[in-house]
């Protein structure tokens, strides 16, 4: 049940990213300024409607296809390739610094989502080399996410809501958890626990950090919606659901 629920969350988040891509391509008022040259949705595309519209449509179709066993493999391979290609082709040249904040968000987040998509069918559904490559790329992304918790510890600690105590403690704990999960995926030991833990972390961040600002905007009449806030919600839900969807299929090394 946990794996099915995770796949449903993952699929819903991908459909949400696709819908937001279409909306941001159509509504010029969502652009933060005249020098904003990308569609502010993960994956961050050049602000070219002829490119953004088909990408948004493909994301919606892939998200829906993940729900059905007959289309699962095709949808997962297509989604993984699209996310990884966008991250590498559009964002790596603009952000060459490996440990910079834009590199972590614009490059590693779509790659992490792409890897979760590739891993969704399980080892028997995709080639073995793709399954292994996805695990190592996902491990790399998680380790970099964990290191970032120590690089910008104060900034991340300030994101924790005020009603939660011990901001620094939770920031350090989640940083260690990220690195531990990355090592687990890379080595093959305790992968199921790593997938469960990563999903739990992102579930907590969804309900405590990312969802409340969006709900606040919805309660304010005529409030301008921030596409980055919506993107954040879809991203954390995608990684939350995609991680839990792996719990059933990952095989731990003895």
In SS3 terms, 142-198 reads as HHHHHHHHHHCHHHHHHHCCCCCCCHHHHHHHHHHHHHHHHHHHHHCCCHHHHHHHH
Out of 23-37, 65-79, 96-110, 223-237, which region has the weakest mean confidence (pLDDT)?
Answer: 23-37
The model's pTM? 0.87
Predicted confidence (pLDDT) per residue in 35-62, tens digit = 457 777 887 777 777 888 899 999 999 9
For residue 32, the model assigns a pLDDT of: 47
Alpha-carbon Rg for the chain in angstroms:
18
Question: What average pLDDT does the structure give for the chain?
Answer: 83
Q: List 46's β-bridge partners, or say none.
A: 38
The more confidently predicted of residues 119 and 219 is 119
Spatial separation of the C-alpha atoms in residues 52 and 21, rounded to whole Å: 7
Average pLDDT over residues 157-174: 85
Q: What is the band of 222 on the pLDDT scale with cuts at 50, 70, 90?
A: low
């Amino acid at each position: 049940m946990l794996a099915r629920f995770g796949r449903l969350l993952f699929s819903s988040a991908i459909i949400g990213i696709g819908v937001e891509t279409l909306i941001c391509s159509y509504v010029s008022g969502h652009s933060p300024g005249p020098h904003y040259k990308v569609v502010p949705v993960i994956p961050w595309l050049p602000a070219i409607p002829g490119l953004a519209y088909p990408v948004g449509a493909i994301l919606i179709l892939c998200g829906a296809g993940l729900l059905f066993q007959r289309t699962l493999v095709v949808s997962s391979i297509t989604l993984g390739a699209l996310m990884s290609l966008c991250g590498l082709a559009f964002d790596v040249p603009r952000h060459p610094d490996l440990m910079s904040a834009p590199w972590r968000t614009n490059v590693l987040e779509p790659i992490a989502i792409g890897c979760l998509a590739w891993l969704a069918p399980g080892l028997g559904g995709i080639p073995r080399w793709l399954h292994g490559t996805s695990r190592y790329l996902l491990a790399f992304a998680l380790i970099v996410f964990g290191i970032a918790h120590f690089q910008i510890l104060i900034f991340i600690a300030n994101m924790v809501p005020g009603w939660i105590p011990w901001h620094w403690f939770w920031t350090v704990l989640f940083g260690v958890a990220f690195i531990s999960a990355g090592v687990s995926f890379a080595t093959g030991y305790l992968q199921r626990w790593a997938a469960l833990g990563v999903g739990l972390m992102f579930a907590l961040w969804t309900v405590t950090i990312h969802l409340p600002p969006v709900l606040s905007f919805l309660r304010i009449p005529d409030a301008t919606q921030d596409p980055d806030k919506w993107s954040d919600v879809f991203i954390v839900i995608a990684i939350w659901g995609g991680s839990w969807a792996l719990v059933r299929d990952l095989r731990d090394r003895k």
